[in-house]
Amino acid sequence: MIYDVLVIGSGIAGLRAAIEAKKHNLKVAILVKGNPLRSNSAMASGGINASFESDESGSIDEHIDDTLKSSQSLADKKRIQNLCRDAKQHILELSDSGVKFDRDERENIAQRAFGGTGKKRTCYVQDRTGSAISQNLIMKARELEVEFLQNYFVLSILKSKGRVSGISAIRLDDTEVLAIACKSLVIAGGGFAGIYKGHSTNPQSTSGDCLALALKAGLALRDLEFMQFHPTGLKTTGSLISEAVRGEGGYLINSDGERFVNELERRDVVAKAIFTELENGKEVFLDLRHLGEETINKKLPSVRKISINAEGIDPVNELIPIRPVAHYSIGGIKSEKDTSTEIKGVFCAGECSSSLIHGANRLGGNSLLEASVFGKLAGDKASNFAKKAEFAKIDYQRVERDLRWVDYILTGENRYNINSLRKSLGNTLYKKVGVVRDESSLLDAFDYIEYMRNLTVGLHCINKDKNFNVELINIIEFINSLYVAEAFILACLKREESRGNNLRSDYLEKNKKLNKHIIVENKDNKLLKVSFEEIDLITKTMTKFRNFLTN
Report the pLDDT value the prediction gives residue 526, as an integer from 0 to 100.
67
Give the residue among 62, 92, 68 at the shortest CA–CA distance from 80.
68
Phi, psi of 48 (to 5 degrees): -135, 130
Tally Cβ neighbours within 10 Å of residue 305: 11
Order the strands of the 227-234 sheet from edge to edge.
Answer: 227-234, 320-329, 284-287, 251-254
Over 60: is that where the pLDDT of 535 sits?
yes
Q: Which residues 6+ apart lie within 8 Å of 8 measured at CB?
A: 14, 30, 31, 32, 154, 167, 185, 186, 187, 188, 189, 210
Kindly state the average pLDDT of the residues 66-70. 96
Does the structure show a pLDDT above 50 at 402? Answer: yes
Closest CA to 248 of 119, 126, 142, 113: 113
Name beta bridge partners: 533.
Answer: 517
> Helical H runs in 23-126?
40-43, 60-71, 77-96
Catalytic residue list contains 267: yes
* DSSP class of 103: B
Catalytic position from the list 267, 323, 398, 422: 267
Enclosing H/E stretch for 182? strand 176-187
Burial of 160 (0-12, 13-18, 19+ CB in 10 A): middle
Please name the residues in contact with 93: beta carbons below 8 A apart, sequence gap of 6 or more: none
Helices 470-494 & 439-455, crossing angle to 10 degrees? 150
The 8-class DSSP code of residue 499 comes to B
* Amino acid at the residue 507: Y
Cα–Cα dist 84/99, whole Å: 20
At 475-504, the pLDDT tens digits run 999 999 999 999 999 999 999 999 999 999
Q: 520 has which bridge partners? A: 221, 530
For the segment 285-342, what is each residue's pLDDT rounded down to a tens digit? 999 999 999 999 999 999 999 999 999 999 999 999 999 999 999 999 999 999 999 9
Q: pLDDT grade, residue 77 (50/70/90)? A: very high
Long-range contacts of 433-437 (CB under 8 A, 24+ apart): 433/227, 433/488, 433/489, 433/492, 434/199, 434/229, 434/275, 434/324, 435/229, 435/271, 435/272, 435/275, 435/324, 435/503, 436/272, 436/275, 436/503, 436/504, 436/505, 437/492, 437/503, 437/504, 437/505
Q: How far is Cα 518 from Cα 219, in angstroms, rounded to an integer?
A: 14
Give Cβ neighbours of residue 11 (< 8 Å, ≥ 6 apart).
39, 40, 41, 42, 134, 188, 189, 190, 350, 351, 371
Confidence tier at 545 by pLDDT (50, 70, 90): very low
Element (H, E) at 321: strand 320-329
CA 226/CA 358 separation, integer angstroms: 10
Q: Is the pLDDT of residue 538 over 50?
A: no
Query: In this structure, are residues 186 and 5 in contact, taking their beta carbons and an 8 Å threshold?
Result: yes
Coil vs helix vs strand at 523: coil
Burial 473-510 (b: 16+ CB within 10 A, else e): bbbbbbbbbbbbbbbbbbbbbbbebbbbbbbbeebeeb
Ramachandran sector of residue 50 (left: φ over 0; alpha: ψ -120 to 50; beta: rest)? beta
Share of the chain above pLDDT 70, in %: 97
501-510 mean pLDDT: 97
Which string of b and e fits 393-430 if b means at least 16 CB within 10 Å? ebbeebbeebbeebeebbeeeeebebeebbeebbebbb
pLDDT score of 57 more than 50: yes
Check if the beta carbon of residue 100 is closer than 8 Å to that of residue 135.
no
pLDDT digits (tens, 9 = 90+) for 424-457: 999 999 999 999 999 999 999 999 999 999 999 9
pLDDT-derived band at 536, boundaries 50, 70, 90? low
H or E, element range at 124: none
HSE, CB side, 13 Å, CA atoms: give it for residue 519. 21
Task: Tell me how crowded residue 447 is: count the other CB atoms within 10 A of its CB.
Answer: 12
Mean pLDDT of 374-395: 97
Domains and CATH numbers, the chain: 232-326 (3.90.700.10), 396-549 (1.20.58.100)
- Which pLDDT tens digit goes with each residue over 337-348? 999 999 999 999
Among 31, 11, 30, 22, which Cα is nearest to 134's? 11
Q: Determine phi and psi for 77, rounding to 5 degrees.
A: -60, -40
Which H/E stretch holds residue 255?
Answer: none
Q: What is the pTM of this model?
A: 0.94
Mean pLDDT of the residues in the chain: 94
CB 190 within 8 A of CB 206: yes
pLDDT tens track for 36-55: 988 989 888 889 999 999 99
Task: Express each pLDDT in 162-190 by its tens digit.
Answer: 999 999 999 999 999 999 999 999 999 99
